Amino acid sequence: MRLFEYTALQIKEKIISGEIRPVDLTKQFIEQIKNIDPHVQAYLSIHEDEALKKAAQIQKKIENAENVGFLAGVPIAIKDNICTKGLHTTCASKILRNFIPPYDACVVKRLKEEDAIILGKTNLDEFAMGSSTENSGYKITRNPWNPEYVPGGSSGGSAAAVAADLSIMALGSDTGGSVRQPAALCGVVGVKPTYGRVSRFGLIAFGSSLDQIGTFTRDVKDAALLLQVIAGHDFHDSTSMPVPVPDYLREIDAGVRGLRIGIPKEYFSAGLNEDVHNALKNVLRKYEQLGANVIDISLPHTEYAVAVYYIVANAEASSNLARYDGVRYGYRASKSNGIVDMYCRTRSEGFGNEVKRRIMLGNYALSSGYYDAYYLKASRVRNLIKGDFDGAFQKVDCIICPTSPVPGFKIGERAKNPLEMYLSDIYTIPANLAGIPGISLPCGFSKEGLPIGMQILGKHFEEKKLLQIAYAFERETDFHRKKPVLKFSLTQK
């Protein structure tokens, strides 16, 4: 087995035992990135010198018999909307082309403290606004399973990096499905924690009441390991909850016998791809074989989720992105006639079309005379959606449903139809509106050989139970062990 095919838990054990040297492992990953990423386009920047320096420090610790961190020597990639001190953080936007943060995000600080090796920053839809990673200001990331297809979004670079063996783990952000949906489309495991479980300090804001940093890994145990490191209260983030973090790996093999699994009828209606539907039927049969009870439930306000999300998220985005004015940092238009013209030119030239579309929609929803009709009403319906989940979890222990209504779609297929693109997140958005945790893991393949993901949703702060339920399925199947065959035409860029 090549070094970059091990799981994080395996790598950690082999590094501590001396079987693998961190420097050798890091060099192999950097070489893999140089060979493969020109075709996948998962990374926006590679931090070779910093990664090798960190690897050498870990190696010295081991040689001196010093204690090493929880992720000793494990290579990881970071979505480029998460601040990294001294390293470019662009949000895949031209308006932040040369921005270098003076501080680390809380999650990055915790990764460094636990001796993870940061390989680089991954591509995304600009400011995390998109479902395909086609909206980046720099490049289009391709799905490692088929380079003609999207990897999902907005964290498509992170998902593709893990799927293509360009990193063992990765961080992303999930505002309406931006971890879970690309995880499903790339055949990896993606976790969106409860809102407040992981600090958002240093995550460049899109929708502040919806954003949450999440994880990408190859299997469920690695997901538990990474979440263990980044979870926990942070006084820098007022929305971070002072809730104890359990040991996620302990009792992960508890099984599902006697568990009540809810199946929402609204998630299995018209518009669900046949291959996805069949894969989920097989999932439910497997859980029944393992002793779980499958119960039909209803989440009646699901049909309003997409509309509510694109009012709330865009309203918050328009406020959050007002700071990019060309005055304090970031891109500034070179020629302008006065400060107002400079603002207009800077934002027109610096933002991409999707970001500008969402800013305008958000400003409209918040404008005088429309606030009550749009934002206030959407906030009230959001509470109804949360109430649906609260009621459901009185009857069931978790909810299982598709992550995405379709497997990956072709690059350019939905680029000119924003509404069709927005519907890509129809099954993931409700969890963000309700603030509950969710996990996506591989559960099958389409006729075209593209991965299909299942989604497990749970009560607030019950990530441990979700990981147990996910692991019960994973250890009985081999979908997570399947790898894309990385065959690229020399003409693809």
Catalytic residue among 178, 199, 240, 440: 178
> Among this protein's residues, is 178 annotated catalytic?
yes
> Among this protein's residues, is 281 annotated catalytic?
no
54 in helix, strand or coil? helix
User: 154: Cβ–Cβ under 8 A, 6 or more apart, which residues?
Assistant: 124, 125, 128, 129, 130, 131, 133, 135, 172, 173, 175, 178, 182
CB 396 within 8 A of CB 261: yes
The CA distance from 119 to 161, in Å, is 11
Catalytic residue among 12, 54, 79, 464: 79
User: Residues for the chain: how many in total?
Assistant: 493
The CA distance from 68 to 62, in Å, is 7
Pairing mode, strands 451-457 and 438-445: antiparallel
CA 224 vs. chain centroid, Å, equals: 15
CB 170 within 8 A of CB 205: no
The closest alpha carbon to 218, from 263, 261, 164, belongs to 164
Catalytic residue among 132, 136, 154, 424: 154
SS3 of 160-171: the string is HHHHCCCCCEEE
The closest alpha carbon to 119, from 91, 85, 77, 58, belongs to 77
The CA distance from 441 to 217, in Å, is 10
First to last CA, the chain: 29
The CA distance from 402 to 211, in Å, is 21
CB 200 within 8 A of CB 210: no
CA 109 vs. chain centroid, Å, equals: 19
Give the side-chain half-sphere CA count within 13 A for 183: 37
153 in helix, strand or coil? coil
Angle between helix axes 106-113 and 220-230 (nearest 10 degrees) is 110
CB 172 within 8 A of CB 216: yes
> Among this protein's residues, is 79 annotated catalytic?
yes
The CA distance from 382 to 195, in Å, is 15
List, by residue number, the catalytic residues.
79, 154, 178
